[in-house]
């Protein structure tokens, strides 16, 4: 049976999965970035980690069956390169801020209000910062550069990674207003749909990994979009809730949703749109009050079919971004019950209520009604919390096929293999 490979390059390591056409995973591997050094911004270190995890993965499968490879990376991470693809400066990572007030003011004046290119961490701000480097030929996103090392193509990106650099996903082009910011438009890559074939392996890459020369390289996506795709969510109205240190919700929509006030913009996935928001509530608030072992112990004593009657809004500090946009919103965690299990239950109820309000807010902004939810992150394993959330959301809870971003990227590789007509 033929296989495809999805590669995820994240903030701490590289991961890869080999996937069959039925979406089942044949093998997986993971390699931490710090195995190769401490400078996690060094592109050479990224490539070393990708190479190591790919080599490990390929040792567990029949290399001759591999048909396609796709890569996802951290959204908003940008690096300048020369004409050969060589990085010219230290990349600016997804959370790095451009501290040039003139650049930020120019973007604020020229970019439409709904554009994802606003803000000090945007890809556009970073591109403007890099464009004066001697010898610069292009600015690429992290996933673009890794894929370029496989295909030799350092002139192409995907619609999801390009969004924060100002790409217009509705018109499917780089908009004219970008030139008005002073950016050299020739530095921007050509943009294709996630899942489009961008090339084949170079002879050097094929020889390095012992792969067939005709393996196609497929346009990938951001780590966030890949994580959504990995769950198997694919129908309009499907939602995915990430219960990690923060609470993040996403829904597949039949139309783009834009609400800058809430930090909401939409990624394009074929003819559908992925919209969502992130709350300041979540697991990190629980961790301020109880260690993980205690949360597990107390959860076993919770009756999720009853309500505490406490109207909590669990926050670590004042301020919320979504589903309530209020930088001064205070935490609401009083009164505190004497029983620790009741206190934890009230917090779980509060976060579940925020989740429900979040999906309702997306619907208010034009998204479709929620039809199902898949859950990922550490909190998804808490059965009491799941029962509380089901009661508040009132929709089907479906199992996530995977919570690995690399699996979502492998699904794009499958699309690319199909477009290329590969068996």
Q: Say whether both 151 and 272 belong to one domain.
A: no
State the DSSP code for 337: P
How much is the pLDDT for 196?
Answer: 98
How much is the pLDDT for 11?
Answer: 87
- Region 396-421: what's the mean pLDDT? 97
From residue 380, how far is each of 13, 196, 289, 293 by CA, in Å? 23, 33, 19, 16
Q: Say whether both 221 and 107 belong to one domain.
A: yes
Please, what sign has the CA dihedral across residues 183, 187, 193, 195? Answer: negative
Distance CA(91)–CA(7), nearest Å, equals: 20
| 230 located within any domain | no
Q: Which of 193, 195, 194, 204 is nearest to 150 (CA)?
A: 204
Q: Is the pLDDT of residue 74 over 90?
A: yes
Q: Say whether both 298 and 412 belong to one domain.
A: no
How much is the pLDDT for 383?
Answer: 98
Please write the tens of the pLDDT for every residue from 319-370: 999 999 999 999 999 999 999 999 999 999 999 999 999 999 999 999 999 9
Q: Say whether both 195 and 49 belong to one domain.
A: yes
| 46 located within any domain | yes
Between strands 372-376 and 238-243, the pairing is parallel
Other Cβ atoms less than 10 A from the Cβ of 279: the count is 23
How much is the pLDDT for 179?
Answer: 98
Q: Say whether both 211 and 265 belong to one domain.
A: no
Distance CA(92)–CA(78), nearest Å, equals: 6
SS3 content of the chain, % helix, strand, coil (to 5): 35, 25, 40
Q: Say whether both 205 and 280 belong to one domain.
A: no
- Region 214-229: what's the mean pLDDT? 97
332, two tokens: 């609401």
pLDDT band, very low/low/confident/very high, at 92 (cuts 50, 70, 90): very high
The share of the chain scoring above pLDDT 70, in percent, equals 100
Q: Say whether both 150 and 71 belong to one domain.
A: yes
Lowest mean pLDDT among 8-12, 357-361, 414-418: 8-12
What is the overall mean pLDDT for the chain? 97
Q: Is the pLDDT of residue 1 over 90?
A: no
- Region 249-264: what's the mean pLDDT? 95
Q: Say whether both 219 and 246 belong to one domain.
A: no
Q: Say whether both 62 and 178 belong to one domain.
A: yes
Please write the tens of the pLDDT for every residue from 151-194: 999 999 999 999 999 999 999 999 999 999 999 999 999 999 99
Q: Which of 295, 308, 313, 286 is nearest to 381 (CA)?
A: 295
| 28 located within any domain | yes
Give the helix ranges, DSSP H, for 59-141: 101-110, 123-130
Coil, helix or strand at residue 85 = coil
Between strands 272-279 and 238-243, the pairing is unpaired
Q: Say whether both 256 and 203 belong to one domain.
A: no
Domain harbouring 37, CATH code: 3.30.420.40
| 244 located within any domain | yes
pLDDT band, very low/low/confident/very high, at 203 (cuts 50, 70, 90): very high
Coil, helix or strand at residue 357 = helix
Q: Is the pLDDT of residue 287 over 90?
A: yes
Domain that holds residue 127: 3-225+405-419
Q: Is the pLDDT of residue 132 over 90?
A: yes
Q: Say whether both 322 and 386 belong to one domain.
A: yes
Which helix H or strand E contains 178, and what residues bound it? helix 177-180
Please write the tens of the pLDDT for every residue from 96-130: 999 999 999 999 999 999 999 999 999 999 999 99
| E-assigned strand segments in 172-253 | 190-192, 197-200, 216-222, 238-243, 247-253
How many domains does the structure of the chain reveal? 2
Coil, helix or strand at residue 275 = strand
CB–CB of 226/409 below 8 Å?
yes
Q: Say whether both 142 and 248 belong to one domain.
A: no
């Amino acid at each position: 049976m033929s296989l495809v490979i999805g590669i995820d390059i994240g903030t701490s390591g590289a991961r890869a999965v080999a996937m069959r056409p039925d979406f089942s995973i044949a093998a997986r591997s993971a390699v931490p970035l710090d195995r190769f050094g401490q400078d996690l911004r060094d592109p050479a270190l990224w490539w070393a980690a990708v190479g190591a995890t790919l080599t490990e993965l390929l040792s567990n499968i029949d290399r001759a069956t591999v048909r396609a490879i796709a890569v996802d990376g951290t959204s908003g991470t940008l690096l300048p390169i020369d004409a050969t693809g060589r990085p010219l400066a230290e990349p600016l990572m997804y959370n790095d801020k451009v501290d040039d007030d003139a650049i930020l003011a120019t973007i604020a004046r020229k970019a439409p209000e709904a554009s994802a290119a606003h803000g000090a961490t945007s890809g556009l701000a970073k591109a403007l910062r890099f464009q004066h480097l001697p010898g610069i030929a292009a600015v690429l996103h992290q996933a673009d550069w890794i894929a370029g090392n496989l295909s030799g193509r350092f002139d192409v990106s995907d619609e999801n990674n390009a969004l924060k650099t100002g790409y217009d996903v509705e018109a499917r082009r780089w908009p004219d207003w970008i030139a008005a910011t002073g950016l050299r438009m020739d530095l921007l890559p050509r943009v294709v749909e996630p899942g489009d074939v961008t090339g084949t392996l170079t002879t050097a890459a094929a020889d390095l990994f012992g792969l067939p020369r005709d393996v196609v390289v497929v346009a990938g996506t951001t780590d966030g979009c890949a994580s959504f795709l990995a769950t198997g969510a694919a129908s309009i109205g499907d939602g995915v809730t990430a219960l990690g240190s923060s609470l993040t919700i996403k829904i597949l929509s039949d139309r783009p949703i834009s609400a800058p006030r809430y930090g909401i913009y939409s990624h394009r996935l074929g003819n559908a749109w992925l919209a969502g928001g992130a709350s300041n509530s979540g697991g990190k608030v629980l961790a301020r009050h109880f260690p993980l072992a205690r949360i597990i112990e107390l959860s076993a004593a919770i009756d999720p079919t009853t309500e505490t009657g406490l109207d909590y809004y669990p926050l670590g500090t004042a301020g919320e971004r979504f589903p309530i946009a209020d930088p001064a919103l205070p935490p609401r965690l009083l009164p505190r019950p004497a029983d620790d299990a009741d206190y934890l239950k009230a917090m779980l109820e509060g976060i579940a209520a925020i989740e429900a309000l979040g999906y309702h807010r997306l619907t208010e902004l034009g998204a479709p009604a929620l039809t199902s939810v898949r859950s990922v992150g550490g909190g998804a394993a808490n059965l009491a919390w799941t029962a509380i959330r089901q009661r508040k959301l009132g929709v089907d809870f479906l199992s996530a096929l995977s919570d690995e971003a690399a699996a979502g990227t492998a699904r794009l590789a499958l699309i690319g293999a199909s477009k290329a007509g590969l068996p």
